[in-house]
Amino acid sequence: MKRAFPILAILTAGLLSWGLYAALVSAPTERTMGDVQRIFYYHVPSAWTAFLLFSINFLASVYYLAKDSEFADRMINWLVILIAVACCVIPFVIKPLPMGVEPGAVATTGIGAAILYFGIRKYFAENADTLALVSAEVGVVFCTVVLVTGPLWARPVWGIWWTWDMRLTSTLLLWLIYLSYLMLRRFSNSSQTPKLAAVLAVFGALDVPLVYFSIWFFRTQHPQPVIGGGGSIDPRMLHVLLLNWLAFLCFAFLVCWSRYRLEVLRQQVEETQALESLLAAGSGR
């Protein structure tokens, strides 16, 4: 894996450079908003990446809370499978679905969440809490980008920097919840801090679907989606959007990878120091 890191770093740098050029130069200029619309190629991929990282935080936190109990672990496993199956069946049975909800998207989300959960369970069984912490840290960074680029777009288009719109307000609430999560992890030294933080993460994840669906179920000033829900987008713009999202995903993976390794090493050092202190105290008697 260490050898793969520089290769992935070079690939990510190339994707970010290509995405920047595509967003600022090769993408067509939007007729009504002009060049300010190009913020879209960073605003939206940042939001999608933040949602994915917060979802990983949620699933890792759920597993962390359940793994110490065999019964709870088994129940969560079956619940995840049941939800995945329901996501694959119910959207194709219920007609009509709410506006903007596509059956295929629901099924893909359910299956993807199940794959993520069982992947976390298999590969991060001993460090699920560390994965939750790292994904929250990087997710907050991308969510911050969303909250910064949004007003930069809104000022020339709406004439205001901010409005208490449901999409904007729920996104700010999401950012505050996960910022509180990080502050709890940083400033609390209690042995129960990881479990308390995991509970907070589960609560915070409930705001993710609210943010996503707010523009469909509430009257908001935020633009309606251009992908799904009856929206449309120029294929060239969609290509640039997906290119930048791929670049952001690779960048997020690199940062999470580095931060995860660093956090695991930090925990190992602290455990070693604690053991040495106990040994020193025992030999001093």
For 103-159, the pLDDT digits (tens) are 888 899 999 999 999 999 999 999 999 999 999 999 999 999 999 999 898 888 888
Q: Does residue 28 have a pLDDT over 80? A: yes
Say which residues have a Cβ less than 8 Å from residue 42's Cβ, sequence separation at least 6: 23, 145, 149, 244
Distance CA 177, CA 136 (A): 10
The predicted model scores a pTM of 0.91
Q: What average pLDDT does this structure show over 47-53?
A: 95
Please check the confidence at residue 59 and state whether its pLDDT lies above 60: yes
Question: Which of 17-21, 85-89, 220-224 has the lowest average pLDDT?
Answer: 220-224
Mean pLDDT calculated for residue range 214-229: 63
Mean pLDDT of 162-184: 90
Q: DSSP per residue over 18-43, as a string?
A: HHHHIIIIISPPBTTTBGGGGGHHHH
